[in-house]
Amino acid sequence: MTVLGIYYVYLPFLILLCSNVARSADGESNVYTLVFGSGSTIADLHKQIKIVRERLKEHHQSLNNLQQNYANLQKRFINLEQTQKLQINDNLLSNLQKFIQTKLSAQSQELVQKQTNYKKTLQNILERQNKSIKDELKKFETKVQNELHKEDGAEKQLCGQTPIEFLKNLRNNKEEIKKLPPEANTILSDILNIIQNSVPVASNEVNWPSYETFLPYGDGKVVEINAKPAAGVEIANSCDDALKSAQDADEAVDSIFALNMTKYNLANMYGYCLNDPNGDSAWLVIQRRIDGELSFNRNWQEYKMGFGNLAGSFFIGLERLHKILRNSHAQLWIQLGTEYVESPYRIYNSFSIANEEDKYRLTSVFINDDTDDDLVDAIDCSFQTYDVKSNDNNCAKTMQGGWWYDEKSKELNCRPGNLNGNLEGVIWNEVEKVVYTHMAIRLTDPSIKVVIRQKD
């Protein structure tokens, strides 16, 4: 059969098939519905296709969200990694700092220990030297005493001073020096030079505490200088006893205590006691200024009896001071504080003053070297106030405070060193900008009584 013949055989069949494509099914079947299904099935298929598309869209959105979350997680991971690196660096730095601090602390402790051992060794050497020199000076004083006792004649007391103290005070007394023959003056200078060069002066400037250590406790207490201890109050025989009792009772140490003063022919009184910074005998404060509020420009009667608050600024009183120092060997401690938190101080020996009849004249005070000193320069000067003066030159009025001024000068010569003047203008041994002062005394072992008998 030819191709044309086959075409004519199948052509009618195709025409029949196409003619039934658009015909309604109405329960009848045809080739289209058999191959592609009924109309209702096609609609369902469209719906499912739509549902599938929506689901695909949702899945696409979910995929975008997952990609965004992944990007965020990646950023957080990078940040976490950087943070961990920084923490590791910080830990390394901290450990390195701790290591360095530990090493430095160990080395510092070692240096401190070496310094402490060195100080102890040096202190032991100084103590041995001091003891040896004191023994020699004691022998010298005894020898002088024995030699002087051999002399006949009237007795002449040396104001309770040791021979060495007498010689030092004699050197500072220009009027007496003029009376000596030249050879005696030379011998005096030689003896004092030997003493000065022989006695080592142990200075604790480096370890001396700040003046702020000596400030009174700010508890608002007011104890007037002339207040009498009430009945039942414990009375201590000395500042040493008072401070020891306070320490045993775990109370504040440097403070106000009731003191027994009957041995000085005085009524019992309150006093401010200070521990010695070097652990030696305690001190009784006789003057203190912690600010400029309390005026020290007072009259004679006030300086005689004392004024102020023991818990603040005060002056103990000249009459009381004279009786305490009378027939005693006393040391004087002057302590200052400056605006620059400096704490200069000096310790004086053989401090004494005369009675009221002699205008509480500064009879004795000296230091252990030849250093110029404002207070030593005031030896033999009478105490002056603005209402009691020895001549027309009223330094007390000019300096606004009572002190031992040079009344022999014909000109107004108010030398520095007045600790009772206007606090802002106080100049003591070239120390200026003073904001704090205190003067304190303590009684030491009684000195040798030297008696000079002159030949008839």
Of 107, 136, 165, which residue is a domain's last? 136
| 13 belongs to a structural domain | no
- Pair 131, 246 in one domain: no
156 DSSP β-pair partners: 452
Q: Give the pLDDT confidence score for residue 199 in this predicted structure.
A: 39
Contact 296, 424 (CB under 8 A): no
- pLDDT above 90 for 113: no
- Pair 413, 439 in one domain: yes
- Pair 94, 241 in one domain: no
- Pair 120, 187 in one domain: no
pLDDT in tens, 6-33: 555 555 555 555 555 444 444 455 554 5
CA distance 306 to 301: 8
382 against 156, higher pLDDT: 382
Q: Is 359 left (phi over 0), alpha (psi -120 to 50) or beta?
A: left
| 144 belongs to a structural domain | no
Of 136, 165, 184, which residue is a domain's last? 136
- Pair 156, 125 in one domain: no
pLDDT in tens, 185-224: 666 666 665 554 443 333 334 478 999 999 987 667 889 9
| 209 belongs to a structural domain | yes
Say which DSSP state 349 is in: E
Question: H helices of 277-420, where?
Answer: 300-305, 318-325, 395-399
- pLDDT above 50 for 455: no
Q: Give the pLDDT confidence score for residue 86 in this predicted structure.
A: 83
CA distance 395 to 116: 49
- Pair 413, 390 in one domain: yes
| 4 belongs to a structural domain | no
Mean pLDDT (whole number) for 141-166: 53
Q: Give the pLDDT confidence score for residue 202 in this predicted structure.
A: 34
Whichever domain contains 440, its CATH number is 3.90.215.10
- Confidence band for 141, pLDDT divided at 50, 70 and 90: low
- Pair 120, 220 in one domain: no
Instruction: Give the chain's mean pLDDT.
Output: 78
Q: Give the pLDDT confidence score for residue 309 in this predicted structure.
A: 95
- Residue 43 belongs to what domain range? 32-136
Would you state the structure tokens that stand for residue 10, as one six-digit string?
Answer: 């199948």
- pLDDT above 70 for 446: no
| Strand, coil or helix: 139 | helix
| 5 belongs to a structural domain | no
Mean pLDDT (whole number) for 43-68: 84
- Pair 236, 383 in one domain: yes
Say which DSSP state 326 is in: T
Q: Give the pLDDT confidence score for residue 24 in this predicted structure.
A: 43
Among 286, 265, 374, residue whose Cα is nearest residue 331? 286
| 321 belongs to a structural domain | yes
- Pair 122, 202 in one domain: no
Q: Give the pLDDT confidence score for residue 436 in this predicted structure.
A: 96
Of 86, 101, 136, which residue is a domain's last? 136
| 366 belongs to a structural domain | yes
Say which DSSP state 421 is in: S
Contact 333, 441 (CB under 8 A): yes
Contact 353, 347 (CB under 8 A): no
Q: What distances in angstroms separate CA 28 from CA 31, 32, 33, one per listed residue?
A: 10, 11, 9
Query: What's the total number of domains in the chain?
Result: 2
